[in-house]
Structure 1
Amino acid sequence: MKAVFVDDAYKVVVKDVEVPEIAANEVLIQVKVTGICGSDIHTYKGLHLFRKPPVIIGHEIAGEVVKVGDAVTKFRIGDRVTVEPQTGCGVCESCLTGNLNYCSRRGAPGLNGWYGTMAEYFAAPEQTVFKLPESMSYDQGVLVEPFAVGVHAVRKADIQLGDRVAILGAGPIGLLAMAAAKAAGATTTLVTDVIDYALEGAVGMGATHTLNIMNKQDWTTEAKELIGGEFDKVLVAAGVPGIVDNAISLLRKGGRCVTIAMFHGTQTFDIVNLQQGEKEIVGCMTYTREDTISAIDLIAAGHVKEDVIITHKLHYNEAAKGFQMVDKKEDSSLKVLVHF
Structure 2
Amino acid sequence: MKNTVAILEKPGKMVIKETQMPTPKDDEVLIEVKYVGICGSDVHGFEHGPYIPPKDPNQVIGLGHECSGIIKKIGKNVRKFKVGQRVCIEPGVPCYTCEFCLSGHYNICPNVDFMATQPNYRGALTNYLTHPEAMTFHLPENMSLIEGALVEPAAVGIHAAKMAGDLLGKSVVILGAGCIGLMTLQACKLKGAAKIVMIDILDNRLNKAIELGATATLKGNDPQLTEKVKSIVGEYGADVVLETAGSIFTAEKALEVVKRRGKILIVGSIAGGVPVEFLKINREVTIQTVFRYANDFPATIDSIANGDFDVDSIADRFFNYQDTQKAFEFSVNNKKELIKGVIKVAD
Matched, 1:142 2:144: no
Distance 1:244 1:142 in 2: 29
Distance 1:19 1:258 in 2: 41
Alpha-carbon offset, residue 47 of structure 1? 4.9
Distance 2:107 2:190 in 1: 23
Partner of 2:35: helix, strand, or coil? strand
Partner of 1:14: helix, strand, or coil? strand
Tell me what 1:82 maps to.
88
Which of these residues, 219, 228, 237, is aligned with residue 244 of structure 2? 237
Which of these residues, 42, 45, 53, is aligned with residue 43 of structure 1? 45
The CA RMSD measured in Å over matched residues stands at 1.6
- Deviation larger for 5-14 or 222-231: 222-231
1:48-77 CA deviation, whole Å, 9 max, x = no partner? 322657412110011111100111111111
Given that residues 205 and 304 in structure 1 are in contact (C-alpha distance below 8 angstroms), is that contact kept between their aligned partners in structure 2? Answer: no
- Deviation larger for 330-339 or 291-300: 330-339
Aligned residue runs from structure 1 range 2-41, under 5 A: 2-41=4-43
Unaligned runs of 5+ in 2: none
Identity among equivalent pairs (%): 33
Matched, 1:246 2:253: yes
Distance 1:10 1:54 in 2: 15
Tell me what 1:151 maps to.
158
1:284-310 CA deviation, whole Å, 9 max, x = no partner? 111002x11111111112233234311
Unaligned runs of 5+ in 1: none
Tell me what 2:97 maps to.
91
TM-score normalised according to structure 2 size: 0.93
Distance 1:307 1:298 in 2: 13
Distance 2:88 2:53 in 1: 21
Given that residues 113 and 120 in structure 2 are in contact (C-alpha distance below 8 angstroms), is that contact kept between their aligned partners in structure 1? Answer: no
Matched, 1:195 2:197: no
Residue identity opposite 2:6 in structure 1: V
Tell me what 2:140 maps to.
133
Tell me what 1:182 maps to.
189
Tell me what 2:263 maps to.
256
Distance 1:204 1:332 in 2: 17
- Deviation larger for 149-158 or 2-11: 2-11
Alpha-carbon offset, residue 332 of structure 1? 1.3
- Deviation larger for 302-311 or 231-240: 302-311
Alpha-carbon offset, residue 134 of structure 1? 1.1
TM-score normalised according to structure 1 size: 0.94
Tell me what 1:301 maps to.
306
Alpha-carbon offset, residue 331 of structure 1? 6.1
Tell me what 2:107 maps to.
101
Tell me what 1:265 maps to.
272
- Deviation larger for 225-234 or 97-106: 225-234
